[in-house]
Structure 1
Amino acid sequence: MMLKSTPITLLFLFFFSGHAFSSASFQMHFELLHRHSPKLDQNTWPKTKITQQERFKDLLQRDGIRQKVILHKLTLRRKAWDRETPTPSNASGSAVSVEMEIHSGADYGIGEYFVEFKVGTPSQKFMLIADTGSDLTWMNCKYRRSDTMRRRLHHGRVFHAERSSSFKTVPCLSEMCKVELMNLFSLARCPTPLTPCAYDFRYFDGSAALGIFANETITVGLTNGRKTRLHDVLIGCSESFRGQSFQGADGVLGLGFSKYSFSFKAAKTFGGIFSYCLVDHLSHKNVSNYLTFGSNDPKNKPNGMQFTKLVLGVLTPFYAVNIIGISVGAKMLEIPAAVWDVNGVGGTILDSGTSLTFLAVPAYIPVMSALKESLVKFKKLEVDIGPLKYCFNSTGFEESVVPKLRFHFTDEAKLEPPVKSYVIDAADGVKCLGFVSTAWPGVSVIGNIMQQNHLWEFDLVQSNLGFYPSTCTLN
């Protein structure tokens, strides 16, 4: 874990949806490691080399599963929306008050970035997937009643609950189990009042996980060099698993917008703000991605940092944004406004667990057409790289031939990603346009490759998203 000392002035208490958010005089950092990072190879991956094309196919396969999950989850959300009369977010950033129908377990394990996480007393260390689309933080786990626990991952670490003095199960007879955790797949069975509240996740790829809910203590490092503990953090103790979804991971760090996510719990302690910065996913330099809780003093924010509103509580647990259009070069593309309407049948989310960027068909077609015009002199290739529809021989390619692509937000903010984030190296001598079409009606997804080389700051108090081009180094 790499630390950076950045003092913050103690300001005041924030109140958000009935929860107090306190500002702190420090931050905490987690180092983020990409799924294909050499640092992860040493601990969790077989010592075998894979080609760039094989690596890309792996990302696309995971993206495919992820997209099905997002569509399924948001379909359920739309049904709940139709049955209820929601209260829109107000100017202070409060989330909608209606309880939405949520099914989040299916997308655990598809994310691409990992963090080191310390759980229990004394602490036990794990590598968890950092996932902005997941509510629950969970890890491979053995509870004392599970003498016949089935092993899920032969190379994964296991949390031994009986070794932690702070491990407290959630009783199955409690209101929390019977009502609040139903959206996290809690089970109705309750043979005795003190039996732990259990869950049963089912996944789109045929995988399944069973476990129990508990409250635990999390140990975190601060930017002043010290450590602190976060108490009563809800975790999932996954005792049984089958399938391939979680290859290389010990579990998931839930960063979604939800009462029980780790981001919500940690943000209450560190000023209501968290951020991350992702270096180039192909980088071989000794640099670190990072996940931070707490904010810099406003005086230290980068000049030119742009802000747009976060739409919270509508596409729960995802972080949605209000886009009004996409331009390529100087031309604003003709895309129906309904594609971006988060309160209708469209909308856009930022997702750390999706690699590529998925666009609903009415946006995908004009974006691809506009970009292909600049690439006609390069030979188009028919290569088997999943759903990527336009790949070409990159001999002689220079980024300057491609017009700048920009995402335009309702409040005049503009995201201008580097060309390498949408004209992507897919194999030796092969580049592809890094967009994938998704069904319409449907939600578009800005993936982690499009987000790379930017600092992203999520302000859960003011419902603001800040972003700024960055090298993403901690030095």
Structure 2
Amino acid sequence: MIVVHSFNNEEEGEDEDERLSLELVHRHDSRFVKDVDRVDVIKGFLSRDLSRNQRINEIIRRKNQGNNNRRKDIEMKSHDIEAQPQFQLPMLSGRDEKLGEYFVDVEVGTPGQRFWVIADTGNELTWFNCLNKGHKSNHGGGGHKHRRRSHKKKRTRTKSRSRSRTRTSKKKRRVGKTNNSSCDGVFCPHQSKTFQQVSCASKTCKEDLSSVFSLKYCPKDSDPCLYDISYTDGSAASGFFGTDTITVNLTDGSKGKLQNLTIGCTQSMANGSTFTENTGGILGLGMTKDSFVEKAAIAYGAKFSYCLVDHLSHKDVSSYLTFGTPKEKILTEMKKTELLIYQPFYGVNVIGVSIDDQMLKIPPKVWNFDTEGGMILDSGTSLGTLVVEAYDPIVGALEKSLANVKRVERDVGILDFCFDTEGFDESTVPRLAFHFAGGAKFEPPVKSYIIDVAPMVKCIGFVPINDTGASVIGNILQQNHLWEFDLAHNILGFAPSKCN
């Protein structure tokens, strides 16, 4: 069940020098934290990646089994796509919570309130930490007990099972305090002239938002549409839905506005590896109706792209999330393949995987969404996650090439193969390549799959998951490449880049 989105972009007069661009900041950028233990960072990556993969595959299974399995097109006619300036959002790396996301700086509301939020291609909902004087949520502190919709944990063939945490060990925290009038660090919808609450009695709440965990609880028609999301790692967020304006800086120096965007106001949270109480919010880059991506695509040419710098770099360098055609000389060198929109995820059709041009024996069903497989690109997953039938041959081939290195016993979560780098020559590592439909071949740099975990220690950076489910090309594998998502033609383009 692949959802096809039709963006008919026929605007020939669009100014290629004007884009919407956001700076991407990794969580471990020195602007957020000065010192970080690399082993703890990797352990955080692993914990979150496992939980996130369970969530991804739970969503895919639910869509395959339920009414959401129906094929739907999001039609964007040529007159819908406005020839406006493109925009870029800087994406920076953080260093504060040992997790692997990239952040962007956005303004929400009128007048704009600024926040650093996680840029997440695997999430369709954009939400913010929210303090609302006019509505007191019953979540997280007594009152009416709502049924929480959670992602059930499936047992995996990894060593992480003994380390899993239970939901009861987490304490839920109210975002903001009702006795505190300050809006510092939280979004205050009551101070926004353009915020509109979504009613719990509306079709939007009952049907359109059901995929992002809207609740059926509706004592009065005028009450807000509530949501309550929880994950097996203990992360949880609850609040209410509304619509508002997000303001972005355009590359021509002006301001652009995405109006009537559906957002969540999170009023209570519980810590976990998916997010913590310090998370400012999430910019949902998953592709669904009325999502941030759909709104931005209509306004800025039906394309978006990003390029991720090294996640462990200590340099204050930025990546950028761009809506519109990226201004890159390497576009002529870009390889292209079919982009599969599997709401809200972005999938690729994998033909096979090779090590030094030798194709590995991996069953084709592993890469097929219709047989509970597939491969997606996800900015919120750190490492590459592979189902066992792909993990074993890929990691096995890499281990053979490293037969002469000195293995080390180091507690780095579920990473099995780690070694001392004294005398190690990276050029001896065979080149890994993912072969996509149409002949495109993605070859990540060696440092993206033989990763640094501690001084003088490297590990093979793949995570084994269940026997079935979607595998993931995470942000470490994606780094040092420009990725372009052409939503008008369902094409994924990619090319090596320094991201500068």
Query: 1:151 — aligned with what?
Result: 174
Q: CA deviation at 1:84?
A: 5.3
TM-score by length of 2: 0.81
Cα gap change, 1:111 to 1:69, in 2 (>3 Å) = farther
Query: 1:346 — aligned with what?
Result: 373
Contact 2:45-2:99 at 8 Å conserved across structures: no
- Which amino acid in 2 is paired with 1:36? H
Alignment of 1:42-441 (within 5 A): 49-80=35-66, 86=71, 112-146=101-135, 151-152=174-175, 157-244=185-272, 245-247=274-276, 248-296=278-326, 302-312=331-341, 315-441=342-468
SS in structure 1 opposite 2:438? coil
Quote the Cα distance in structure 2 between the aligned partners of 1:296 and 1:146: 42
TM-score by length of 1: 0.85
- Which amino acid in 1 is paired with 2:53? Q
The superposition leaves residues 309-342 of structure 1 with CA deviations (integer Å, 9 ceiling, x where unpaired) of 0111xx3211010001111012111111111112
Contact 1:378-1:392 at 8 Å conserved across structures: yes
Quote the Cα distance in structure 2 between the aligned partners of 1:212 and 1:63: 27
Quote the Cα distance in structure 1 between the aligned partners of 2:8 and 2:221: 31
- Which amino acid in 1 is paired with 2:300? F
- Which amino acid in 2 is paired with 1:311? L
Quote the Cα distance in structure 2 between the aligned partners of 1:87 and 1:19: 13
Query: 1:103 — aligned with what?
Result: none
Cα gap change, 1:441 to 1:147, in 2 (>3 Å) = closer
Quote the Cα distance in structure 1 between the aligned partners of 2:281 and 2:233: 17
Query: 2:94 — aligned with what?
Result: none
- Between stretches 65-74 and 155-164, larger displacement belongs to 155-164
Q: CA deviation at 1:86?
A: 4.5
Match of 2:482 among 452, 455, 459: 455
The superposition leaves residues 80-112 of structure 1 with CA deviations (integer Å, 9 ceiling, x where unpaired) of 38x95647999x9xxxxxxxxxxxxxxxx9761
Quote the Cα distance in structure 2 between the aligned partners of 1:260 and 1:200: 20
Cα gap change, 1:238 to 1:88, in 2 (>3 Å) = closer
Contact 1:33-1:40 at 8 Å conserved across structures: no
Quote the Cα distance in structure 2 between the aligned partners of 1:145 and 1:37: 36
**Identity rate of aligned residues, in percent?**
47
- Which amino acid in 2 is paired with 1:71? N
SS in structure 2 opposite 1:403? coil
Cα gap change, 1:156 to 1:398, in 2 (>3 Å) = farther
Contact 2:30-2:316 at 8 Å conserved across structures: no
SS in structure 2 opposite 1:263? helix
Cα gap change, 1:147 to 1:200, in 2 (>3 Å) = closer
SS in structure 1 opposite 2:469? coil
Cα gap change, 1:426 to 1:67, in 2 (>3 Å) = same
Cα gap change, 1:381 to 1:111, in 2 (>3 Å) = closer
Quote the Cα distance in structure 2 between the aligned partners of 1:335 and 1:153: 50
Cα gap change, 1:371 to 1:84, in 2 (>3 Å) = closer
Contact 1:171-1:193 at 8 Å conserved across structures: yes
Cα gap change, 1:416 to 1:277, in 2 (>3 Å) = same
- Between stretches 112-121 and 182-191, larger displacement belongs to 182-191
Contact 2:122-2:378 at 8 Å conserved across structures: yes
Return 5+ residue gaps in structure 1 as ranges: 1-15, 42-46, 93-108
Q: CA deviation at 1:220?
A: 0.5
Query: 2:24 — aligned with what?
Result: 32
Q: CA deviation at 1:152?
A: 3.6
Quote the Cα distance in structure 2 between the aligned partners of 1:251 and 1:88: 28
Q: CA deviation at 1:78?
A: 2.8
Q: CA deviation at 1:40?
A: 2.2
Cα gap change, 1:326 to 1:406, in 2 (>3 Å) = same
- Which amino acid in 2 is paired with 1:306? K
SS in structure 1 opposite 2:287? coil
- Which amino acid in 1 is paired with 2:381? T
Quote the Cα distance in structure 2 between the aligned partners of 1:455 and 1:441: 29
| RMSD between superposed Cα atoms in Å | 2.6
